[in-house]
Amino acid sequence: MSGQHTTNPVAVRVRRLEERLIGAGLVEDAELDGILARFLEGASPLNGARIAARAWTDEGFRDRLLADANAALPELGLSMAGGIQQQRLKVVANTPEQHNVLVCTLCSCYPVGLLGPSPSWYKSESYRSRVVREPRVVLGEFGLELPEDVRITVWDSSAESRYMVLPRRPSGTEHMGEDELVGLVTREGLIGTAAV
């Protein structure tokens, strides 16, 4: 954390808060770096892919995941803990009638531990403002053309709440096991800007 310079307003505010905590003697810079390193150590889109594959192959897990994702994640050795507080995760499922897409309109809140570091386009002001106003157009720019009768819901993350899309299981994969299915899931599919 120390030694990094940025003009991103959120990053500047975070660094000011870190400096106040350090100045008050509540934490040391190295401790903050250690928390971040531990948090990112296991952060990977593979975690989200494992969640999706399990939900596709285990109806009970799917039901638990959609009802209370934070309670279901430990079944795969995962959690939303990390850093100072646990965040609430809501998993939203795509269906033939409903497509979900994620955004954080204020900054770039995102379930890093489950999807890995966020892509640069997710943090861009263009994506953050346009996907809310014209989601069908933005998804089309990603190459995802949805039928007009498919309803699109945009989920706006916050500091307390994160979202993950449960993509539809691809047709023709009924013979595939969970480990094989993991390889089909992409980070973009878990954000909702691509089909799986």
User: Of the residues 2, 44, 79, 104, which is catalytic?
Assistant: 104
Q: Where are the beta strands (DSSP E) in the chain?
A: 88-93, 98-103, 151-156, 161-166
What contacts 24+ positions apart, CB below 8 Å, involve 3-12?
10/106, 10/107, 10/108
Cα–Cα distances (Å) from 63 to 115, 130, 141, 152, 167, in that order, read 21, 32, 32, 22, 14
User: Of the residues 2, 44, 79, 108, which is catalytic?
Assistant: 108
User: Of the residues 2, 44, 79, 109, which is catalytic?
Assistant: 109
Residue 27 DSSP symbol? -
Annotation marks residue 104 as catalytic: yes
In which residue are the tokens 């994620």 written?
Answer: 102
Q: Which tokens hold the place of 21?
A: 């905590």
User: Of the residues 107, 118, 158, 161, which is catalytic?
Assistant: 107
Taking alpha carbons only, the member of 120, 107, 117 closest to residue 43 is 117
Annotation marks residue 126 as catalytic: no
For residues 38 and 20, what is the distance between their CA atoms, to the nearest angstrom? 22
Annotation marks residue 161 as catalytic: no
Which residues are part of the catalytic machinery? 104, 107-109
